[in-house]
Amino acid sequence: MKILILNDVAAAVGGAETFTLDLRDEFRRRGHDARVFASDALGGEGGAAADYTCFGTTGELRTLNRVANPRAWLALRAALSEFRPDVVHVRMFMTQLSPLVLPLLTGIPSLYHAAWYETICPIGLRLLPDGSVCEFEAGRACRQQGCLSRRAWVALMTQRALWNRWRDVFGLFVANSGAMERRLREHGIGPTRVIWNGVPRRPRRPPLAGPPVVAYAGRFSREKGVGYLVEAFARARDAVPDASLLLLGDGPDREPLAARAAELGIGGSVRWAGHLARDAMERELESAWVVATPSVLEEPFGLAAAEALMRGTAVVASNHGGLAEIVRDGETGVLVPPRDTEALAAALAALLSDRTRCEALGAAGHDWAWDRLSRERCADRFLEAYEEIRTGSRPAATSSARGGA
């Protein structure tokens, strides 16, 4: 099968981008001709792993580019003419490629894969400025609640209108969790199907040794809740004095977080490992007793948590969004209310003082992820979905799409 995957960028700079490349490579391993179309928005890295590229930008033109990127339209038209795919799989496209590319998919079996909230929220997060989850319909509320400037509001409402005009090119809308599917349906988007993301299968990490470590891997930004993690760790460390906090990644909150750690007197117990390649990151995370994913936003899926489960590491996660589906409370990890520093601190302290429980949760998580969250299983489900939109058959039930979870 000839499969074209569209994504805003094609570089391993985040979970969504890494997943895109992993999925393409898994299809290729099975003998399919799978290719990625992406912008070069991050310079050399943006389209580094793409098979087809177009113009993208992170500069002043980005807002206009999001509404209509004519060079993406031209490049995609050429790619479709040259490749002639059997199916097109569209992932993130509204920060660079723009809805202008959608009419080109008319007549080609296509699905939209919702990896975040870009089609129902102009900023993609569904978070209000105070950090609470937004329940407003996109429109005037985006200005009234202070989420968008006037200029950005005009541009992104235009983008939204173009999306609504052309979204009928998709024969199926795939959500990466039941939580995401519910949000799509609330906004009249369908038909839908749930396919959980997949991560590479790997052997369970070595037995835990050394002092207890809680780790976080991801972006240092408000919506990820890293600030709550730093506060909670400071409290947990009172109960487990030899514990340390390992932070992998980067982002706009890096310096404020470091300053806050110093204020709390835990600067010497926090290690900043930076952004690492996958192999190096895995080596760092093998020592973690617990991986924390304290997201403030409703994570559409929670790739870092899925990777931790596959690694065989206990997880403490926010009890909403996709995280509440893939982390089994009391079985593979612990779920806590988002933005609840006290509950997060209590969960961390309990696990960091109990190596045996961490090992038990990690072992159960590895077994559970191996059967349900593998890249291979995810690819199987997408190949089924591709056949459905090519043949016009009715999508299977949501539960079977998740793999019986």
Query: Residue ranges of the domains in the chain?
Result: 2-198+374-402, 213-372
C-alpha dihedral, 258 to 148 to 122 to 306, nearest 10°: 10
Q: Note the pLDDT of residue 191.
A: 93
Place of tokens 């930076």: 274
Structure confidence by residue, pLDDT tens digits, 177-225? 999 999 999 999 999 999 999 999 999 999 999 899 999 999 999 999 9
Q: Note the pLDDT of residue 11.
A: 77
**Angle at alpha carbon of residue 168, lines to 192 and 109, rounded to 5°:** 75
User: Residue 147: helix, strand or coil by DSSP?
Assistant: coil
CA proximity to 174, closest of 164, 163, 184: 184
Q: Write b or e for each residue in 149-175: b if 16 or more Cβ atoms lie within 10 A of its Cβ, otherwise e.
A: eeebbebbbebbebbeebeebbbbbbb
Residue ranges, the chain, pLDDT below 50: 395-405
Q: Note the pLDDT of residue 275.
A: 85
Residue 193: φ, ψ to 5°: -150, 145
Q: In CATH terms, are 2-198+374-402 and 213-372 the same topology?
A: yes
Q: Note the pLDDT of residue 17.
A: 83
The CATH number of the domain covering residues in 2-198+374-402: 3.40.50.2000
What span, in angstroms and rounded, lies between the C-alpha atoms of 7 and 89? 9
What span, in angstroms and rounded, lies between the C-alpha atoms of 319 and 83? 43
Q: What share of the chain is helix, strand, coil (3-state, %, to 5)?
A: 45, 15, 40
| Contact present, 50 and 10 (Cβ < 8 Å) | yes
Give domain 213-372's CATH architecture. Answer: 3-Layer(aba) Sandwich (3.40)
What span, in angstroms and rounded, lies between the C-alpha atoms of 98 and 106? 16
Q: Note the pLDDT of residue 177.
A: 96
What span, in angstroms and rounded, lies between the C-alpha atoms of 155 and 110? 26
Q: Note the pLDDT of residue 400.
A: 37
The HSE-up count of residue 214 (CA atoms within 13 Å, CB side) is 32
